[in-house]
Amino acid sequence: ADLPSVKILATGGTIAGTAASSTQTTGYKAGDLGIQTLIEAVPAMKDYANVSGEQVVKISSNNMDTKTLLKLAKRVNELLADPKVDAVVITHGTDTLEETAYFLNLVTKSDKPVILVGAMRPATAISADGPMNLLEAVRVASTPEAKGKGVMIVMNDEINGARDVTKTNTTNPATFKSPELGAMGYVSGNKVRFYKQSTKRHTTNSEFDVSKLETLPRVDIIYSHVDDDRIMADAAVAAGAKGIIHAGTGNGSIANPTMEGLKDAVAKGVVVVRSARVPNGATTVSLPMWTKAGFLESDTLNPQKARLLLQLALTKTQDPKEIQRMFDQY
């Protein structure tokens, strides 16, 4: 009775996936099982928390969209405002898990733990990783030290912070890593162990608020490559993008023809942020001509997370100086 109350919000993914055979680990149906089935599969959760479930959506997370993100964020805030709820765990597909985690890290108005969890093997597979991951997520959510650390992903015995974590392997269960900045902690034996946390702004210290938002501004990502040209930049502007994240080569480098397209985008009021297709390191000022063109820098945020931050930034301001400040602080 004295245990914390943890609400599990289910959204689908492989953790709720089913396949025709116990050895099938690809080509299965994601998001098939409901939250009650997932909870019943892990009775040990009751040793750590009073858990209850709620199905938000049943999707494969490659289909995650703004509407669902906003719905989820609003529900998380509603639940955490209730003194009877101590923490929220969200089951989610792994494809866009890091994006939902970072988005919630920016818009959750509570210091109560919010833990995201998924699986790489469907629930029907031998050595399915979902049940243990869910148990560990609930254990972390029930730990007092998890409070105030921002949104986290718990999978495969690791606790990773929403800002720094990324999916690093297409199929391996040990896929969620923070390669540059390291894991925050481990679920190890009978202990939840924390070692570090991000210095970046999040949750109760964040200026972003989705409570009145029904949509987010369009922001497109342009991925750089050999033979790059301006076609994608022009297409983004034509599609009505208010922002563009350029996933540049190296330290956010831009091919000359693409640069012309992006300069024209800036001239039309589109905010352009340089990120990088390189997984590690900060994207910084490299060539002065890019700064002169008005392009901003994403710091260590990967393109998909930079996109979410720019969307939220654009709900508050169009001022490039202010938006760069946000990229420096979040």
Ligand X SMILES: NC(=O)CC[C@H](N)C(=O)O
**Which residues are at the interface with ligand X (CB under 6 A)?**
12-14, 30, 60-62, 93-95, 118, 120
| DSSP-based three-state secondary structure for 164 | coil
H or E segment to which residue 58 belongs: strand 50-59
CA separation for the pair 282, 250 (Å, rounded): 10
CA separation for the pair 50, 135 (Å, rounded): 12
Using only C-alpha atoms, what is the Rg of the chain? Answer: 20
CA separation for the pair 145, 193 (Å, rounded): 9
State yes or no: 224 annotated in a binding site: no
Question: Smallest distance from the beta carbon of 22 to ligand X, in angstroms?
Answer: 17
Question: Smallest distance from the beta carbon of 11 to ligand X, in angstroms?
Answer: 8
Residue facing ligand X at closest CB distance: 93
SS3 track for 257-297:
HHHHHHHHHHHCCCEEEEEECCCCCCECCCCHHHHHCCCEE
The one-letter amino acid code at 223 reads Y
CA separation for the pair 211, 200 (Å, rounded): 22
317 counts as catalytic: no
143 counts as catalytic: no
Return the ∠ at Cα 267 (arms to 263 and 268), rounded to 5°: 120
Catalytic one of 14, 100, 108, 166: 14
Catalytic one of 11, 25, 91, 94: 94
Which long-range contacts does 40-43 make (Cβ < 8 Å, 24+ apart)?
A: 41/123, 41/130, 41/131, 41/134, 42/131, 42/134, 42/135, 42/138
Tell me the two tokens of residue 193.
Answer: 């162990």
Question: Smallest distance from the beta carbon of 196 to ligand X, in angstroms?
Answer: 26
H helix intervals, 3-59: 35-40
Confirm if 159 and 183 have CB atoms less than 8 A apart: yes
Nearer to ligand X, 93 or 185 (CB): 93
State yes or no: 61 annotated in a binding site: yes
Q: Name every residue whose Cβ is closer than 8 Å to that of residue 131 and which is 6 or more positions away in sequence.
A: 41, 42, 123
Nearer to ligand X, 59 or 262 (CB): 59
Cβ-based neighbour number of residue 245 at 10 Å: 30
Question: Smallest distance from the beta carbon of 72 to ligand X, in angstroms?
Answer: 14
State yes or no: 94 annotated in a binding site: yes
> Residue positions in the annotated binding site?
61, 94-95
> Residue positions in the annotated binding site for substrate?
61, 94-95
The residues annotated as belonging to the active site are 14, 94
